[in-house]
Each structure stands twice: as C-alpha cells, then as structure tokens.
Amino acid sequence: MKFSELAVIPFLLGLGSALTISDKSTNSSSALLHGLMYEDINRCGDGGLYGELLNNRAFQGENRTLDSYNGVDSAKLALVDEPLSDALPKSMKVSGSGFYNEGFFGISVKKGRKYTARFYAKGGSNFNVALKGVSSGDELVSAKAEKVSKSSRLFPSESNGFQLYTAVLVPTEDAPDVDNGLYISFDGGEATFNFVSLMPEHFKGRENGLRVDIAETLNDLSGKFLRFPGGNNLEGQTIERRWKWNETIGALIDRPGREGDWTYPNTDGIGLHEYFEWCEDMDLTPILGVYAGYSLGGEEVAEDDLQPYIDEVLNELEYCLGDYNTEYGKKRIANGRKEPFDVKYVEIGNEDFISKHYDYRFPAYKKAIKEKYPDLTIIATTEIGLEFPEDEVIWWDQHNYQNPEWMIDSFDMYDNYPRNNTKVFQGEYAQTHLGAGLGDEELETPNMLSSASEAVFMLGMERNSDQVLAMCYAPTLQNVDATQWTPDMIQFNTESIAKSTSYYAHKLLFSTAGDKILELQDAPFDPLYYVANLDTKNNRVHVKIANPTDKDAEFSAKVDVKGFENAKATAQSISSTNPNATNVLGQEEQATLQSQDVSYKNGELKLNVGPYYVGVVTLQQ
Ligand code: AHR
C-alpha cells in the first residue's frame, strides 16, 4: 500500500502540538524484555516439539498401556513385568513375527530425511525395520537393524538382558500422507521390546533434540529468554507427581517419565539438559522454574516437612552450577556436560498465589537459595503475604489472560508503578476472550483484534521496561490433534505449522528491541498506542505502533534524536480490516507481516496506520 493512496483519518495531536520522539530523556530497557514460555501442554512436547516420532515408546505414565502398538499378521502383544531398567518396569512381549507403532497422530515421512530407529529387545533375531503406510501397506523404506555394541551417554547398549538395536532409514519418496507406522519384524516367534523410538534429524543437529520446523519458528521470534518447565506442568496434580529434575537426566532409559499435569504421560525426553541445550541453540537465557511445595490439586508441603523439598532444589542448582568437587556437579559432568549451565534466574513455583502458604514457603526457598547462590535472581509467583525486601532485586511473575478492553486499558498499567527493586516479569499473557462487544466467548486462535490489543499491552510494558523486565505469551504451542487450551501462538500437526497473527506481531515487536526507551513529548494515546526505542548497538530507532480499532489513521511524529535526522526509514506491519482475521492450520493465512511505505525526511515521520494494526518503523543510521 502506498502512503499517498490511503484515505486516512488524521491522527490528531494536541492543539498546536506535535508528537516528538526525543533522546533528551530516556529510560533503560531490559535486555531480556522479550522471551518464550514453554511447558508440555496440548501435547506440544511429546508429539510435537520433542523430536521423538513414536508414541508410548517406553510404556510410561501411571496407566501403562500398549497404546499406539499393533501386532502384524495376528501377532499377540502383551504388557509384561520385564523391566528394561529401574525406571522402565514394563515391556511389551510380542508373540508372532512383528508389530508396528503408529506414531502420535501418524508419522510424517519425507524424502531424503534421515530417520534413526532404536529399540531394546530380548529374544528374537534378524530384526527388520520399515516405514510403511498403515492403510495402504506400502513400504516406504526398510533396513536391517544392527546390534549396538558401544554405549553412548543417552543410549546404553545393553540393560537387564535387553540389547539395543538400531537402523537408519532414508526414504526416497515423500509418503502421500501421515498414515504411516514404524514396523519391526523378527525371527524366532517371540521377543520382548522396550524403548521403541524413531527420531528424525533435529534442530541444529542435536541428538535427542527438537522438531526442526517448530524449533525454527520459535527461533525466528528473536526471543531473549526461555521460561521452563511450567506453568502448571511444573507442579504436578499431587506432590508426588511434581516435575522431578533428577528423573529427567541421564540415559533415556533411566528416565521414568511422569503423569504430566495436562492429562497425558510425559517421557521427559526434553529433560533438564535438553532445556539448557535448547536455550544455547536459540541464544536464550534460561529462566528455571523450580518446584516449591505446592501442587495443583491443592496439596501443600507443611512447613515442618519442607526441608527435603528445599534440598531438592539446592541439589538441582548444584547439578546445574557445581564443579567436579560437588556431589551433583560431578553427576552433571558424568552426564557429559563439563561447563556449568547458565542459571541466573530461578522462579519459585508457578502461580503460587493459588496456594495458602506461600508466606512460609517463599521465604524459606529464597533464603536457602540466596545463602548458597547470592548472585541468582529470585522470581516470586505471588505477592500475597510477602514483604518484598527493598535492598534486594526480586522479580514478580504476573499472569493475565484477558479480553481486548483489559489489554488496551492496561497500556498505562506500569506508568506509575513504583520504581523499586520489585521488578515485574509478565510470565504469561494472552487475549483469551473475545470481549469488545463480541461477547465473552473464548478465542480459538488469535485474531487481528486480539493481536493488536495484546500489542497495546506489550507497548505499555516496553515503555516501562526499566521496571517490567521480561514478558512472554502463553501458551506457545498447540497440537491441533490434542488441544486443551486456546488460543495459542503457534498451531501444528504431524507435518505442518501455522503462525498466528499474534506470532507475527510478537516476532515484529521482539525483533525490534532497543536498550533505551525514548521520551515522547506531546503524545496523546488512543486510538493509537506507541513506543519508541533506541538500539545503540545497531544504531537504530524503532517506532512501534498499535491500533486496536477499525479506523485508519495517520501517524506523524518529529524525531528529535541526534544523528537520525536523515536516517533510512523502513516499516513492517500486520493489519486487517477484519478484527476476526486469523491464521488457521491448513487454511490460507488471513494476515501476515508486510513491508510498508513510510515517509521520513529531515526528522519528520509519516505513516499510514491501518485498522487492527501492529507496525514498526525502523530508522537506520
Ligand atoms: O498457560 C496455561 C496455564 O495457565 C499455565 O500452565 C498456568 O501457569 C496458567 O494458569
């Protein structure tokens, strides 16, 4: 769209005044302002981001089943008490000639992609592995499985009388659809199997890593931190079901997995090491959530019983940070990681405002952690019953799932927030309800009204990013075949992905961060909301604008920033006349990021702002 072509309602500034963006006064902007929140919800970990393609690979969870397995040629399958390891007590006995696993929701088979199959077997011989169409019976690729004689960090070659086998499969054609299975056949009439796994190549070539297309989409957001492993999924429905860090490390057959909070078993294939590897591969600062004595079903650890749970966290931190002379640091090194992990931020629990006794739990965790690790930043998940100390920086994680009115009204929420050592971490937010006269119905996918109104809230936080130090949308990922929570930022199924309007808005706002927030003089807000930052490292000014209304407008401003009088201006935006414009998996995108014309001469900036709009002008020196 050309600037001159659009009939616009001028964005009227105060009488006789003009908006000026100035470097006369600035506030600092947090280097960690934008980031990602991740937990296994909506089957987005196992069955999604985690690179494993087979469901139920090791018969984990509280109700162990043979889900996803089928016998071939009348072979009988039975769950038997033949442990592969202490962590994996049940195995599958196959009487007959073979079986197949149909994947989570099918298996995506692509030409030229390298698939590594692995399984542990006791008995049987002459194992053959194939990818085949389940309904068609068509073989896509097959190979003889070989015994693995050398153990590696993640895959011991033998355990409890089971032998590890592997085969590499490289299909020469794409499968027509995802109705495919991994088939294993053998001689001998009977064999027992466990840990039946199929892994394609992963993001950045990591072994036991992340699905490439989802990981690349996350990486493209340009986030600065990753909050993990929850969310509710940290807490467990009961104390016993909490996320236990020490059961997520080491060889994959030594990880028992757990019944996750979102009603399905977690393999813990993405365990503590894998989270840090993910951070390193995407250049994200870890924000590590630790279990803090409260579980979602309402159980709380009593004050007198708390110490072992505090010790559990201290052990976790020693595992991450300790050297060879420490008990747990030594274990990390034995697990293949010599250097400490980059732990600087530790979040105590998740949404512990729901619990009754954060008043004794939070101070106890904080004291114990700070005594041993004084340089760590502690993040609280409630303020209730707490006195935040003034001489110590503490972050306070706040969560808001709201409607458009709330998002827009909250633009100035932090303007007069006290500037003290209690820093804000907006650890979850999303516009979840239609609102704005459209009712209170839940949104299924983000749309241009929700994305533009979230952007207003985000610009308000960025404007105050000397005090609001970090923000992340939640939930991030939605497997459309197993959805539990909507809306989410990114939809996917077994082989495709859809980037929502909020994904694009976040990508735009995240990739245009600065280290200083510029002063806005004579700045009226509503209907347009904006913020301007200076990126001193890359010599850029960014002017970020959101319009959550159906009106076109003209944005004009004087840029009074030294050295930028004749800078080169470019602009990108996402906008639609339709507030319900949304991007849904399998359908054409209704809104996406586009380059936009912008006029900039002698410090005078002019830009057409469309309806339901999020845009950024970049001035490059
Ligand atoms: O993001 C979904 C859930 O919302 C998170 O698990 C929890 O922290 C919040 O209530």
Domains and CATH numbers, the chain: 69-200 (2.60.120.260)
| CB neighbours of residue 403 within 10 Å | 21
Handedness of CA 328, 334, 340, 341 (dihedral sign): negative
Per-residue pLDDT at 391: 81
Handedness of CA 480, 182, 206, 62 (dihedral sign): positive
Token pair for residue 377? 């930043």
Q: Mutate which of 36, 232, 353 to test ligand 1's pocket (most atoms within 8 Å of Cβ)?
A: 232
Nearest 10 degrees: Cα torsion 355, 422, 431, 413: 130
> Ligand 1: distance of its center to the CA of 545 in Å?
28
> Ligand 1: distance of its center to the CA of 364 in Å?
24
How many Cα atoms are found within 13 Å in the side-chain-facing hemisphere of 410? 19
CA 191 to chain centre: 39
The candidate with the shortest Cα–Cα distance to 77, out of 96, 60, 61, 58, is 96
Q: Mutate which of 399, 401, 443 to test ligand 1's pocket (most atoms within 8 Å of Cβ)?
A: 399
In whole angstroms, give the CA distance from residue 142 to residue 126.
Answer: 13
Q: Which atom of ligand 1 has the smallest separation from the CA of 475?
A: 1
Residues in the chain: 621
Q: Mutate which of 44, 234, 235, 350 to test ligand 1's pocket (most atoms within 8 Å of Cβ)?
A: 350
> Ligand 1: distance of its center to the CA of 206 in Å?
28
Per-residue pLDDT at 417: 87
* Atom 8 (ligand 1) nearest CA: 231
> Ligand 1: distance of its center to the CA of 231 in Å?
5
CA angle 161, 162, 166 (to 5 degrees): 150
Per-residue pLDDT at 390: 74
> Ligand 1: distance of its center to the CA of 223 in Å?
20
Mean pLDDT per 10-residue run, the chain (621 residues)?
A: 38 57 96 98 98 98 97 97 98 98 98 98 98 98 98 98 98 98 98 98 98 98 98 97 98 98 97 98 98 96 98 98 98 98 98 90 95 97 68 92 95 92 95 72 94 98 97 98 97 98 98 98 95 98 98 96 97 97 98 98 97 98 95
- What DSSP element (H or E) covers 287? strand 285-290
Per-residue pLDDT at 4: 33
Per-residue pLDDT at 13: 37
- What DSSP element (H or E) covers 519? strand 516-521
What residue ranges line ligand 1, CB within 6 angstroms? 39, 41, 230-232, 350-351, 399, 428, 474-475, 485
Per-residue pLDDT at 442: 86
Token pair for residue 501? 């309007």
Residue 311's φ and ψ, nearest 5 degrees, are -60, -35
